[in-house]
Amino acid sequence: MTNMLITIDGPAGAGKTSVSRELAKRLNCIYVDTGALYRGVALEVKQAGIDWEADAVLEPFLNRISLSFAMEGEDPVLTSSGKNISSLIRTPEISMLASAISARPCVRKALLGLQHAIAKNNDTVFEGRDMGTVVFPHARHKFFLFADLDTRALRRFKEKQAPEQDLVQVKEMMESRDANDAGREIAPLTPAKDAVLIDSTHISLEEVVQRILLEIHRD
Ligand code: C5P
C-alpha cells in the first residue's frame, strides 16, 4: 500500500500551516512544514557568514548541515545537527533570506531528498510552495490555498511574529516575498495543474479543512 500524501501549497498567510496541522491531526498523518527547512538553511548560512551566492561555497556547506523537522506534541520543532533552532527562524530577516536562498538550485536539490525520504516512510501532509508541482508531482491529493494580500498581511500581523513591524511593513515584505517566490526560475510558486484551488479570504479554517476532507474522501 502506498502512503497517504497530501500537498498544500500557497503564499504566506494563506492558512497553509493551520490547515495542514489540523488535517494531519484528523487524518492521523505527520505534518511537514517545508518552509521551516528553507528557513533553517537560511539561518545556518547567516550564522556561518558564508558567501552563499557562490555555488563553490554554498554546495559543500549544504552537505555539512543536517536538518530535521518534527512535531513534539503541539509544537513544530526544527533541528539542525540535533540543535533546536525553531525559535530563531521566524524573524523578518530569515524570511527574506530564506526566500532569496530558496531560488538557488543546489539548495532545492539538497532539500528534495529529505522531503522524499519523509514521504516514503510516513503518511504525510506537506506544506510549501512547490509540493504539488515539483517535489510530489504524482501526489493524489493536491491543494493550493490563497487569499488576497490585505487579508494575508493582517493575519500575519496579528500573529505578532515580528512585533517591531507595523501592518504596512508586514504587507510590503509579504508582497516582496510573493514576487520572489512566484518569479524565480526554479520551482516557482504556482498551483499544480491538478491542484484544487481554495480561496481562504472569506472562509474559516474549519471550512477550508472541511473542503479538503470532502475532496480527499470523494476519491
Ligand atoms: O512557508 P514559509 O513562509 O515559512 O517559507 C519561507 C520561504 O521558504 C518562502 O518564502 C519560500 O521562498 C521558501 N520556500 C520554498 N519552497 C517551499 C517552502 C518554502 O521555496 N516548499
Which of these, 115, 160, 157, 163, lies nearest to 139 by C-alpha position? 115
Ligand 1 pocket, residue 13 CB under 6 Å: no
pLDDT range class, residue 161, cuts 50, 70, 90: confident
Is the distance from the beta carbon of residue 128 to the nearest atom of ligand 1 less than 6 Å? yes
Nearest one of 92, 108, 125, 127 to 11, comparing CA atoms: 127
Say yes or no: CB of residue 39 within 6 Å of ligand 1: yes
70 is in an annotated binding site: no
**Alpha-carbon span 207 to 13, nearest angstrom:** 16
Any atom of ligand 1 within 6 Å of the Cβ of 108: no
Task: Give helix 92-101 / helix 167-183 axis angle, nearest 10°.
Answer: 10
- Is 14 marked within a binding site? yes
- 182-217 pLDDT, tens digit each: 999 999 999 999 999 999 999 999 999 999 999 999
Nearest CA to ligand 1 atom 21: 128
Class of domain 5-218 as given by CATH: alpha beta
Question: Between the CA of residue 170 and those of 24, 151, 152, what are the distances in Å?
Answer: 28, 11, 10
| Ligand 1, atom 6, residue with closest C-alpha | 35
- R_g (Cα) of the chain, nearest Å: 17
| pLDDT tens per residue, range 85-135 | 999 999 999 999 999 999 999 999 999 999 999 999 899 999 999 999 999
pLDDT at 218 over 90: no
Angle between helices 105-121 and 34-48 (to 10 degrees): 140
Where on the phi/psi map is residue 78: left (φ > 0), alpha (ψ -120 to 50), or beta? beta
- Residues 6 or more apart in contact with residue 2 via CB below 8 angstroms: none
Which residues lie below 8 Å from residue 206, measured CB to CB, with a gap of 6+?
none
- Per-residue pLDDT averaged across 152-159, rounded? 93
Percent share of the chain, pLDDT over 90: 91
Q: How far does Cα 105 stand from its chain's mean position?
A: 17
The number of C-alpha atoms within 13 Å of 97 and in the hemisphere containing its C-beta is: 23
10 is in an annotated binding site: yes
- Is the ipTM of this structure higher than 0.90? yes
Q: Write down the pLDDT at residue 163.
A: 85
pLDDT of residue 1: 58
Structure confidence by residue, pLDDT tens digits, 38-59 = 999 999 999 999 999 999 999 9
pLDDT range class, residue 2, cuts 50, 70, 90: confident
